[in-house]
Amino acid sequence: MGGLSKKAFQLQTLSEQNEQQKLLIDSGNLLFKRDSITDGVSQERLTAKSIIKIYQKLGYDGVGVGPLDLSGGIKLLRDSTDNGFPWISANIMDDTGNPLFKQWISKKTQNTEIVITALTAAPRKMVPGIQINKWQTILPELLAQIRKVKKDPFIVLLSSLNHEENSQITKQYPEIHLLISTDQRKGNVSPQLLNGCLLTQTAKQGKYQGLLEITLGKDRRWGQNSAKQLAGLQNKLGSLNWQLRRLQKKTTVAENEEKYKKTITRLSSEKKKLDSQIDSLKKAIAKEKTGEIANDQYTYRFIGLKKSMGDDQPTIEELNKLNSKISELHQKERANNRKKRSDGSISSHAHMTGYRVCSACHPAQAEFWQATRHAAAYATLRQRKKHLNLECLPCHLTLDIQNATFKKQPRKQLLSFPEELQSVGCESCHGAGKNHSISPERYRLVQLPDENICLACHTSDHDDNFDYNAKLQQISCPAE
Ligand code: HEC
Ligand code: HEC
Ligand code: HEC
Ligand code: HEC
């Protein structure tokens, strides 16, 4: 989510820098992270709506429906389609077997029609009101339909299917020219030819932006990029020339002549070969400039969205609005929670006791801890008005990380954590300590938290240079 304002900024910069026609597409799985989202207002639904708004503002041409976009039911998607959001899915049908979304869209470039279609993988949980048809039945009809109205189109498939299925598709339908996948198990996949089709994707959750620059040729076949190839060959020639000159200088010393002769002969013949390769490539390029390029060509780049990048202001504003809505919702939720159960008091946190109790017996460690950022982790969220945001709370509160069941507790409970647990407290690292506090000799706590404890929060998303040994020194409590 936070990355969206950077993504927007980056897209704007790119379109300012590039004159060429651009096509903004995504293979989907944008909206949710889980399979099934309950009805009613929730942080997840509010967030999904904001994502839709932001993508639409950015001017996406087409977005494939991914199975995770269906987690909140079909209404959200239908409503956004009615508002003009460019969802595409060739194989999601309503109860009567009619397609629910546009099955494909097209965009005209100077002399080529680009057709974008999408296939949706079956979601893990059934979604009421829809059927997901198999690609085996959909694709033949669809491609025939496209062929009827478009002459020699450049066909792009946005696919949330798995790699085996994608591979099958490229084998059976060579007219599909570019396949953008959204395989959750894979990260960035550099463009690679698979049965003549170019296949690529960026890592999930929008940490990267993929930029694929395509020069359309006359034949719908991927060729090499001659300009790039030429640069490579010229580089090689440069270093060959340099080696040759160096050796020739050395041979001016008499006794070296024999020694280097063989190498010089070998390098010279290599140079000859390179010269002629460069020559014919130059001719080909000259031809391309006057006439038409024979093959489609591409270059690509993945752009990591780093913290230091700029932010798009309108997107920031949209995200701030979202955060206010979330806070408002959760303020009510928290008040209700506290009324219903005596939640919000430490007694409802079975094995936890909070930093104050620990401090009574371990004043030196408590004093040290108070001065670390961990003690202020919740205050940090409060300052940014993010203390009612369920996305942030899990790492800025004291949770019993060593107890695997903590992950299963309803996340809304995080909203009403008592003050004693509003920080990365003692028990985040040493484990739940209620029993220990009553009977320290009988119930021992972990003395030295291992790296996995830290990594539960210091994930690469939130701390891109976590070094256990170095960081441990900064936060190790002093000895008794
Ligand atoms: C009533 C006093 C008391 C309270 C309250 C208390 N401790 Fe202790 N703690 C002790 C004593 C005594 C020891 C030494 C036990 C031993 O060496 O057998 C100890 C040892 C420890 C150790 C070292 C573990 C080891 O095995 O060497 C850690 C870590 C620790 N406590 C953390 C905590 C945390 C965290 C809390 C709060 C959840 C806490 N303590 C609450 C008295 C207390
Ligand atoms: C419950 C989540 C959580 C756990 C577990 C955790 N951290 Fe942190 N850590 C944070 C957060 C959040 C911050 C930033 C707090 C802020 O600035 O408001 C932070 C900050 C830090 C800092 C900066 C401290 C400073 O005072 O500048 C260091 C160093 C650090 N953590 C090391 C560790 C190490 C080492 C471990 C494991 C032994 C660990 N953390 C375990 C969440 C955690
Ligand atoms: C997976 C755990 C995790 C989650 C979720 C998380 N944080 Fe953090 N946060 C950390 C850790 C770890 C640090 C300390 C990083 C470091 O020491 O470099 C930190 C540091 C921070 C800081 C202080 C450092 C900075 O970058 O300015 C802020 C502010 C912050 N988090 C805000 C948030 C907000 C807002 C959210 C929710 C959108 C959030 N965090 C969600 C783990 C998390
Ligand atoms: C971010 C993780 C972290 C937090 C939070 C934390 N500690 Fe520690 N604590 C450590 C580490 C690391 C050590 C050093 C262990 C070692 O070197 O064996 C340590 C050591 C200790 C020891 C044993 C000292 C000794 O060697 O005899 C006690 C007692 C202790 N901490 C208590 C506390 C209390 C009380 C709090 C909260 C007020 C707290 N710790 C918060 C990480 C943490």
DSSP sequence for 290-304: HS--SSBEEEEEEEE
Q: Averaged over 339-349, what is the pLDDT?
A: 66
The last residue of one of the domains, among 240, 255, 290, is: 290
Whether residues 247 and 120 fall in one domain: no
Last residue of a domain, one of 244, 276, 304: 304
Domain at 410, CATH number: 1.10.1130.10
Lowest mean pLDDT among 72-81, 348-357, 370-379, 446-455: 348-357
Span of 189-198, 246-255, 261-270 with lowest mean pLDDT? 246-255
Are 171 and 275 in the same domain? no
Question: What is the number of other CB atoms lying within 10 angstroms of the CB of residue 376?
Answer: 16
pLDDT at 2: 66
| pLDDT single digits (tens) 112-152 | 899 999 999 999 988 999 999 999 999 999 999 999 999 88
Place 60 in a pLDDT band, splitting at 50, 70 and 90.
very high
Task: Record the pTM.
Answer: 0.80
Q: Evaluate whether residue 213 is within a structural domain.
A: yes
**pLDDT confidence of residue 406:** 64
Same domain, 282 and 194: no
In angstroms, what CA-CA distances link 372 with 220, 365, 452, 453? Answer: 61, 11, 20, 17
Dihedral over Cα of 141, 142, 148, 153: its sign: negative
H-only helix segments in 4-91: 4-17, 43-58, 75-82
Both 60 and 179 in a single domain?
yes
- The 10 Å CB-count burial string (b at 16+, else e) for 229-238 is bbeebeeebe
Give domain status of residue 76, yes or no.
yes
**Is 124 within the bounds of a domain?**
yes
Question: Is residue 395 domain-shared with residue 408, that is, in the same domain?
Answer: yes
CATH code for the domain in which residue 77 is found = 3.60.21.10
Query: If you write DSSP's letter for every residue of 123-187 in order, what string do you get?
Result: PSS--TTEEE--HHHHHHHHHHHHHHHSSS-EEEEEE-S-HHHHHHHHHH-TTEEEEEE--TT--
Alpha helices in 342-413 (DSSP H): 355-361, 363-370, 377-383
Does 102 lie in the same domain as 190? yes
Summarised one tens digit per residue, pLDDT across range 187-197 is 888 888 888 89
What value does the mean pLDDT of the chain take? 89
Nearest ligand to the C-alpha of residue 365?
4
* Residue 98 sits in the same domain as residue 183: yes
Orientation of helix 75-82 relative to helix 43-58, angle to 10°: 30
pLDDT value at position 15?
81
Q: 257 and 205: one domain?
A: no
Is residue 327 assigned to a domain? no
Could you tell me the maximum CA-CA distance found in the chain, to the nearest angstrom?
98
Total of domains in the chain: 3
**Pocket residue to mutate for ligand 4, from 365, 421, 475, most atoms within 8 A of Cβ:** 365
Assess whether the C-beta atom of 358 lies below 6 angstroms from ligand 4.
yes
Distance from the alpha carbon of residue 372 to the mean position of ligand 2, in angstroms: 8
The per-residue pLDDT for range 20-39, each reduced to its tens digit, is: 788 899 999 999 988 888 88
182, 51: one domain:
yes
Per the domain annotation, does 342 fall within a domain? no
Residue 283's pLDDT is what?
81
Tell me, using a 6 A CB cutoff, whether residue 171 lines ligand 3: no
Question: Do 271 and 194 share a structural domain?
Answer: no
Domain for residue 340, yes or no? no
Residues 13 and 47 in one domain: yes
| Top mutation candidate among 386, 396, 429 for ligand 3, by most atoms within 8 Å of CB | 396
Q: Print the domain residue range for 246.
A: 226-290
Q: What is the pLDDT of residue 145?
A: 95
